[in-house]
Amino acid sequence: MGSILLLACSAAGLAADVQSVGGAPFHLKVTSIKELRYRATVRQQFDFSCGSAAVATLLSYHYDYPVSEQQAFQEMFQNGDQEKIRREGFSLLDMKRFLAARGFIADGFELPLEKLHKAGFPAIVLIAEKGYHHFVVVKGLQGERVLLGDPAGGTRAMSRAAFEAVWQNHLLFVIHDRPGKPRFNELADWRVAPQAMPADVIERDGLARITLPKLGRGEF
């Protein structure tokens, strides 16, 4: 794939020998904050693969349907317009087809963010931040904070106002018409989410366009 940039993605946990009160040492594994941020968010491996990582995050951590980013990437790339994907990244239509092949019905709805909170559904959204467009998963809402699964920065939170400013198309891509409730607003995810944008997120271009038509206003 020529110019694909592989991201440095190791976030190894640290280990330490700790002296107990009784004098006997024991081995303690220390997990870094960076590693924790990717515990329930799939990290993207390539400069245009945020879409495949977002789909893998949605299925693996919200619908208990484990999928790797590599699996999603390979299938969507093979079945999609490869030149366009190289230029612009995956589209919501690529994601819709990948999900449909596994029995998940997903569509884009032009609805306010509050609908997710009422329905208890996670969603993939496109945001424009730091000069590039990028797919993330809305993992929860709490007061004036929005919890995101960011394939480039891990699980993070931002203010509702800041999110609304970067969420320009107001399109929520959600799985619907499925029995049972997905995971949403998980306390464990909120615990590891920094308030600000992580400084180590790599800025990239070429993820700007989505090709799935908006369905208009309606219910999930």
Catalytic residues: 50
CA proximity to 90, closest of 133, 122, 140: 133
Report the DSSP beta bridge partners of residue 128. 133
CA distance 100 to 78: 16
CB 190 within 8 A of CB 142: yes
Can you tell me the distance from the alpha carbon of 121 to that of 76, in angstroms, rounded to the nearest whole number? 23
State phi, psi for 130 to the nearest 5 degrees.
55, 40
Best CA proximity match to 153, nearest among 188, 114, 204: 204
Residues 51/89, Cβ–Cβ less than 8 Å: yes
Q: Which 8-state DSSP code applies to residue 195?
A: S
Amino acid identity, residue 158?
A: M
